[in-house]
């Protein structure tokens, strides 16, 4: 089964993202707007219990982090994906590193960590070029504190649902 770890932003930012996703993201109905902190990995039922325990241990040592979005950006020309760029900060980078290393379950990330909330994907180059400028001009400015992460799993229909939620609660 496929799993991943995400942070869900507030309803306010989700609503803003969904305003674009309804039109520009074919995965709109499969997953709520989110920021991935550990990409997709495979695990069976016994392994996922170990993974959940490992995530629980990571979450106990991590502080809640600031999720600050201040611009629209794109992964073009690699992919025609448009996203709200999340400003990296020490707490977020520490969390990502704790979930993505040789000692932690699953593969190492294929790309450098670019924290973001996707608002458009699977666009043709023409579609991408038509809307990126407009979205950059409209812009975005949102900041909040995220105090939990979620282990998700993928259902047979391709949609994702929460397996377990973990509070970030740094223990001294």
Determine phi and psi for 82, rounding to 5 degrees. Answer: -115, 140
116 classed as catalytic: yes
Strand partners, 72: 84
Question: Among 96, 116, 128, 150, which one carries the catalytic annotation?
Answer: 116
For 94-152, the three-class secondary structure string (H helix, E strand, C coil) is: HHHHHHCCCCCCCCCCCCCCCCEEEEECCCCHHHHHHHHHHHHHHCCCEEEEECEEEEE
Question: Among 34, 96, 128, 150, which one carries the catalytic annotation?
Answer: 34
Contact 58, 99 (CB under 8 A): yes
27 classed as catalytic: no
Contacts of 92 (CB under 8 A, 6+ apart): 37, 65, 66, 67, 86, 115
15 sits in which H/E element: helix 11-24
Active-site positions read: 34, 116
């Amino acid at each position: 089964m496929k799993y991943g770890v995400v942070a869900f932003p507030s309803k306010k930012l989700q609503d803003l993202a969904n305003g674009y996703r309804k039109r520009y993201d074919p995965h709109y109905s499969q997953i709520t707007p989110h920021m991935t902190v550990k990409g997709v990995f495979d695990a069976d039922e016994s392994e996922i219990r170990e993974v959940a325990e490992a995530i629980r241990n990571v979450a106990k040592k991590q502080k809640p982090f600031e999720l600050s979005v201040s611009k629209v950006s794109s992964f073009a020309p690699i992919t025609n994906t448009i996203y709200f760029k999340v400003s990296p900060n020490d707490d977020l980078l520490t969390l990502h590193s704790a979930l993505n290393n040789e000692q932690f379950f699953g593969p190492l990330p294929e790309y450098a960590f670019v924290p973001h909330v996707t608002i458009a994907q699977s666009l043709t180059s023409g579609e991408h070029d038509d809307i990126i400028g407009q979205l950059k001009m409209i812009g975005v400015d949102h900041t909040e504190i995220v105090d939990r992460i979620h282990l998700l799993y993928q259902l047979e229909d391709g949609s994702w649902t929460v397996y377990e939620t973990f509070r970030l609660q740094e223990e001294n």
